[in-house]
Amino acid sequence: MKDLQRKSIIITGATRGIGRAVALECARRGANVAFNYVKSESQASEVKAELESLGVKALAFKCDVGDLKSAREMVNAVKKEFGAIDALVNNAGITRDKVLVMMSEEDWSEVIRVNLTGAFNFVRAAAFIMMKAKRGSILNITSVSGLVGLPGQANYSAAKAGLVGLTKSLAKEVGRLGVRANALALGFIETDMTSTLPAENKAQALAMIPLGRFGTVEDVAPMAAFLLSDAASYITGAVINLDGGLAM
Protein backbone atom coordinates (compact mmCIF):
# COMPACT_ATOMS: atom_id res chain seq x y z
CA MET A 1 0.00 0.00 0.00
CA LYS A 2 1.50 3.34 -1.07
CA ASP A 3 -1.03 5.63 0.63
CA LEU A 4 1.69 8.03 1.84
CA GLN A 5 3.41 8.26 -1.55
CA ARG A 6 5.64 11.35 -1.77
CA LYS A 7 4.30 12.81 1.48
CA SER A 8 6.88 14.59 3.57
CA ILE A 9 6.77 13.43 7.19
CA ILE A 10 8.68 14.52 10.30
CA ILE A 11 8.94 12.04 13.16
CA THR A 12 10.64 13.09 16.38
CA GLY A 13 12.78 10.54 18.22
CA ALA A 14 13.02 7.79 15.62
CA THR A 15 16.35 6.10 16.33
CA ARG A 16 14.64 3.21 18.08
CA GLY A 17 11.37 1.89 19.48
CA ILE A 18 8.05 3.30 18.34
CA GLY A 19 9.47 6.25 16.38
CA ARG A 20 11.71 3.99 14.31
CA ALA A 21 8.83 1.59 13.54
CA VAL A 22 6.55 4.47 12.51
CA ALA A 23 9.30 5.93 10.31
CA LEU A 24 9.83 2.60 8.53
CA GLU A 25 6.09 2.05 8.08
CA CYS A 26 5.69 5.53 6.56
CA ALA A 27 8.62 4.86 4.22
CA ARG A 28 7.14 1.49 3.17
CA ARG A 29 3.99 3.43 2.27
CA GLY A 30 6.03 5.80 0.09
CA ALA A 31 6.73 8.82 2.34
CA ASN A 32 9.94 10.79 2.56
CA VAL A 33 10.89 10.81 6.23
CA ALA A 34 12.89 13.24 8.37
CA PHE A 35 13.61 12.38 11.98
CA ASN A 36 15.68 13.53 14.92
CA TYR A 37 17.39 12.17 18.02
CA VAL A 38 19.62 13.45 20.81
CA LYS A 39 22.15 10.73 21.62
CA SER A 40 22.05 7.73 19.29
CA GLU A 41 24.31 8.88 16.47
CA SER A 42 25.13 5.46 14.98
CA GLN A 43 21.53 4.20 15.29
CA ALA A 44 20.42 7.36 13.45
CA SER A 45 22.73 6.53 10.53
CA GLU A 46 21.37 2.98 10.47
CA VAL A 47 17.74 4.13 10.44
CA LYS A 48 18.50 6.66 7.69
CA ALA A 49 20.07 3.89 5.58
CA GLU A 50 17.10 1.55 6.27
CA LEU A 51 14.69 4.27 5.13
CA GLU A 52 16.67 4.98 1.97
CA SER A 53 16.79 1.27 1.15
CA LEU A 54 12.99 1.47 0.91
CA GLY A 55 13.37 3.89 -1.99
CA VAL A 56 12.45 7.14 -0.24
CA LYS A 57 14.39 10.23 0.84
CA ALA A 58 15.51 10.34 4.46
CA LEU A 59 17.01 13.06 6.65
CA ALA A 60 18.41 12.66 10.18
CA PHE A 61 18.99 15.57 12.56
CA LYS A 62 20.68 15.70 15.93
CA CYS A 63 18.14 18.03 17.50
CA ASP A 64 16.74 18.25 21.01
CA VAL A 65 12.95 18.57 20.80
CA GLY A 66 13.01 20.76 23.90
CA ASP A 67 14.77 23.56 22.03
CA LEU A 68 12.45 25.71 19.89
CA LYS A 69 15.27 27.26 17.85
CA SER A 70 16.59 23.80 16.88
CA ALA A 71 13.05 22.61 16.08
CA ARG A 72 12.56 25.60 13.76
CA GLU A 73 15.89 25.01 12.05
CA MET A 74 15.07 21.34 11.49
CA VAL A 75 11.56 22.00 10.18
CA ASN A 76 12.82 24.71 7.79
CA ALA A 77 15.60 22.42 6.53
CA VAL A 78 13.08 19.62 5.88
CA LYS A 79 10.75 22.00 4.03
CA LYS A 80 13.66 23.17 1.88
CA GLU A 81 14.82 19.62 1.12
CA PHE A 82 11.43 17.86 0.68
CA GLY A 83 9.42 20.88 -0.54
CA ALA A 84 6.57 20.45 1.99
CA ILE A 85 5.66 19.27 5.47
CA ASP A 86 2.59 17.00 5.15
CA ALA A 87 2.71 15.36 8.55
CA LEU A 88 4.36 15.57 11.94
CA VAL A 89 4.57 12.84 14.56
CA ASN A 90 5.52 14.09 18.02
CA ASN A 91 6.96 10.87 19.36
CA ALA A 92 10.14 11.74 21.29
CA GLY A 93 9.67 11.02 24.96
CA ILE A 94 11.42 10.07 28.16
CA THR A 95 10.48 8.81 31.62
CA ARG A 96 12.00 9.65 35.02
CA ASP A 97 9.74 7.54 37.23
CA LYS A 98 9.61 8.25 40.99
CA VAL A 99 6.85 8.69 43.54
CA LEU A 100 5.92 12.35 43.67
CA VAL A 101 7.19 12.99 47.20
CA MET A 102 10.66 11.82 46.11
CA MET A 103 10.60 13.54 42.70
CA SER A 104 13.22 16.22 42.11
CA GLU A 105 12.44 19.47 40.36
CA GLU A 106 14.76 18.29 37.57
CA ASP A 107 12.87 14.97 37.16
CA TRP A 108 9.70 17.00 36.84
CA SER A 109 10.88 19.70 34.48
CA GLU A 110 12.93 17.48 32.15
CA VAL A 111 10.00 15.11 31.53
CA ILE A 112 7.66 18.05 30.86
CA ARG A 113 10.29 19.71 28.65
CA VAL A 114 10.85 16.71 26.38
CA ASN A 115 7.38 15.13 26.27
CA LEU A 116 5.17 18.23 26.26
CA THR A 117 7.22 21.31 25.37
CA GLY A 118 8.94 19.23 22.68
CA ALA A 119 5.59 18.68 20.97
CA PHE A 120 4.69 22.37 21.34
CA ASN A 121 8.00 23.35 19.76
CA PHE A 122 7.53 21.15 16.70
CA VAL A 123 3.89 22.14 16.22
CA ARG A 124 4.91 25.79 16.59
CA ALA A 125 7.58 25.30 13.94
CA ALA A 126 5.52 23.24 11.46
CA ALA A 127 1.90 24.36 11.79
CA PHE A 128 2.21 27.59 9.79
CA ILE A 129 3.69 25.67 6.87
CA MET A 130 0.76 23.22 6.97
CA MET A 131 -1.81 26.00 7.39
CA LYS A 132 -0.42 27.85 4.38
CA ALA A 133 -0.56 24.66 2.31
CA LYS A 134 -4.10 23.98 3.65
CA ARG A 135 -3.18 20.40 4.43
CA GLY A 136 -1.40 18.50 7.16
CA SER A 137 -1.73 15.87 9.83
CA ILE A 138 -0.23 16.08 13.30
CA LEU A 139 -0.05 13.02 15.52
CA ASN A 140 0.94 13.25 19.17
CA ILE A 141 2.08 10.07 20.89
CA THR A 142 0.59 10.09 24.34
CA SER A 143 0.03 7.38 26.93
CA VAL A 144 -2.73 5.80 28.96
CA SER A 145 -0.69 7.18 31.86
CA GLY A 146 -1.96 10.60 30.78
CA LEU A 147 -5.57 9.40 30.78
CA VAL A 148 -5.82 7.44 34.02
CA GLY A 149 -2.58 8.38 35.89
CA LEU A 150 -0.06 5.81 37.06
CA PRO A 151 1.80 5.72 40.38
CA GLY A 152 5.42 6.82 40.04
CA GLN A 153 4.64 8.83 36.91
CA ALA A 154 3.22 12.18 38.07
CA ASN A 155 5.64 14.02 35.77
CA TYR A 156 5.02 11.72 32.79
CA SER A 157 1.25 11.51 33.37
CA ALA A 158 1.06 15.31 33.56
CA ALA A 159 3.05 15.69 30.34
CA LYS A 160 0.99 13.09 28.50
CA ALA A 161 -2.32 14.54 29.77
CA GLY A 162 -1.01 17.89 28.56
CA LEU A 163 -0.56 16.40 25.10
CA VAL A 164 -4.23 15.43 25.07
CA GLY A 165 -5.23 19.03 25.78
CA LEU A 166 -2.75 20.34 23.23
CA THR A 167 -4.12 17.96 20.58
CA LYS A 168 -7.76 18.95 21.12
CA SER A 169 -7.12 22.72 21.28
CA LEU A 170 -4.96 22.51 18.19
CA ALA A 171 -7.55 20.45 16.30
CA LYS A 172 -10.14 23.16 17.00
CA GLU A 173 -7.78 25.94 15.92
CA VAL A 174 -6.52 24.49 12.64
CA GLY A 175 -9.32 22.22 11.37
CA ARG A 176 -10.81 24.87 9.08
CA LEU A 177 -7.40 25.31 7.50
CA GLY A 178 -7.26 21.67 6.43
CA VAL A 179 -4.93 20.57 9.21
CA ARG A 180 -5.80 17.63 11.50
CA ALA A 181 -4.42 16.81 14.96
CA ASN A 182 -4.88 13.49 16.73
CA ALA A 183 -3.30 11.53 19.55
CA LEU A 184 -2.53 7.89 20.12
CA ALA A 185 -2.74 6.86 23.79
CA LEU A 186 -0.46 3.86 24.02
CA GLY A 187 -0.49 1.21 26.68
CA PHE A 188 2.50 -0.95 27.53
CA ILE A 189 4.60 -1.34 24.34
CA GLU A 190 7.81 -3.42 24.36
CA THR A 191 10.69 -0.97 23.73
CA ASP A 192 13.85 0.25 25.49
CA MET A 193 11.61 2.54 27.56
CA THR A 194 9.75 -0.37 29.16
CA SER A 195 12.58 -2.94 29.14
CA THR A 196 14.07 -1.63 32.40
CA LEU A 197 10.85 -1.90 34.42
CA PRO A 198 11.12 -4.38 37.32
CA ALA A 199 9.64 -7.84 36.59
CA GLU A 200 7.09 -7.34 39.37
CA ASN A 201 5.73 -4.15 37.74
CA LYS A 202 5.57 -5.89 34.37
CA ALA A 203 3.60 -8.81 35.84
CA GLN A 204 1.16 -6.35 37.47
CA ALA A 205 0.72 -4.48 34.18
CA LEU A 206 0.18 -7.69 32.21
CA ALA A 207 -2.55 -8.80 34.61
CA MET A 208 -4.47 -5.58 33.77
CA ILE A 209 -4.43 -6.04 29.98
CA PRO A 210 -7.59 -7.74 28.67
CA LEU A 211 -5.81 -8.92 25.51
CA GLY A 212 -3.28 -10.68 27.74
CA ARG A 213 -0.08 -9.46 26.13
CA PHE A 214 2.13 -6.39 25.86
CA GLY A 215 1.97 -4.39 22.66
CA THR A 216 4.71 -4.31 20.05
CA VAL A 217 5.91 -1.48 17.84
CA GLU A 218 4.30 -3.35 14.94
CA ASP A 219 0.93 -2.89 16.68
CA VAL A 220 1.49 0.87 16.72
CA ALA A 221 3.06 1.71 13.35
CA PRO A 222 0.11 0.89 11.00
CA MET A 223 -2.35 2.91 13.11
CA ALA A 224 0.01 5.87 13.18
CA ALA A 225 0.46 5.67 9.40
CA PHE A 226 -3.30 5.42 8.91
CA LEU A 227 -3.91 8.58 10.97
CA LEU A 228 -1.39 10.44 8.81
CA SER A 229 -2.96 9.23 5.57
CA ASP A 230 -5.83 10.69 3.55
CA ALA A 231 -7.95 7.68 4.57
CA ALA A 232 -8.24 9.41 7.97
CA SER A 233 -9.18 12.78 6.46
CA TYR A 234 -12.35 13.15 8.60
CA ILE A 235 -10.64 12.26 11.89
CA THR A 236 -9.40 15.13 14.04
CA GLY A 237 -9.20 15.84 17.76
CA ALA A 238 -9.36 12.10 18.44
CA VAL A 239 -7.47 10.38 21.23
CA ILE A 240 -7.31 6.74 20.25
CA ASN A 241 -6.38 4.12 22.84
CA LEU A 242 -3.96 1.51 21.54
CA ASP A 243 -3.43 -0.47 24.72
CA GLY A 244 -4.89 -3.98 24.51
CA GLY A 245 -7.85 -2.71 26.53
CA LEU A 246 -5.75 -1.59 29.50
CA ALA A 247 -7.43 1.78 30.08
CA MET A 248 -11.06 1.16 29.12
Residue 135 vs 243, nearer CB to ligand NAP: 243
CB of 37 to ligand NAP, least distance (A): 3
Q: Considering the candidates 82, 122, 156, 214, report the single residue annotated as catalytic.
A: 156
SS3 246: coil
Q: Report if residue 17 touches ligand NAP, rule: CB under 6 A.
A: yes
Question: Is 156 in the active site?
Answer: yes
Q: How far is the CB of 130 from ligand NAP (least distance, A)?
A: 21
CA distance 41 to 125: 24
User: Which range in 13-21, 49-57, 165-173, 200-208 contacts ligand NAP by CB under 6 A?
Assistant: 13-21
Closest to ligand NAP by CB, 75 vs 94, is 94
Per CB under 6 A, the segment of 80-88, 91-99, 175-183, 229-237 that binds ligand NAP is 91-99
Longest dimension (CA), the chain: 50
CB contact at 8 A, 14 and 21: no
Give which of 25, 60, 54, 53 is closest to 39, Cα–Cα.
60
Q: Does 33 bind ligand NAP (CB under 6 A)?
A: no
Spell out the alpha helix ranges (H) of the chain: 17-28, 41-52, 68-82, 105-112, 118-133, 145-148, 154-174, 192-195, 199-207, 217-228
Task: List the 136-143 sheet strands across, edge first.
Answer: 58-62, 32-37, 8-11, 87-90, 136-143, 179-186, 239-242
The reply on whether position 111 binds ligand NAP by CB under 6 A is no
Interface of this chain with ligand NAP, residues 218 to 247, rule: CB under 6 A? none
For residue 152, state whether it binds ligand NAP (rule: CB under 6 A): no
Helix, strand, coil content of the chain in percent (nearest 5): 50, 15, 30
Answer yes or no: are the C-beta atoms of 22 and 91 closer than 8 Å. Answer: yes
Give the binding range for ligand NAP (CB under 6 A) out of 32-40, 129-137, 170-178, 201-209: 32-40
Q: Which is nearer to ligand NAP, 86 or 219 (CB)?
A: 219
Binding of ligand NAP at residue 91 (CB under 6 A)? yes
Instruction: Count Cβ atoms below 10 Å from residue 161 Cβ, excluding itself.
Output: 18
Three-class secondary structure of residue 153 per DSSP:
coil
The 176-215 site mask, x for binding ligand NAP (CB under 6 A), equals: ----------x-xx-xxxx---------------------
Please give the Cα distance from 10 to 2 (Å, whole number): 17
Enzyme catalytic residues: 156
Binding site for ligand NAP (CB under 6 A): 12-19, 36-40, 64-66, 91-94, 114-115, 141, 143, 186, 188-189, 191-194
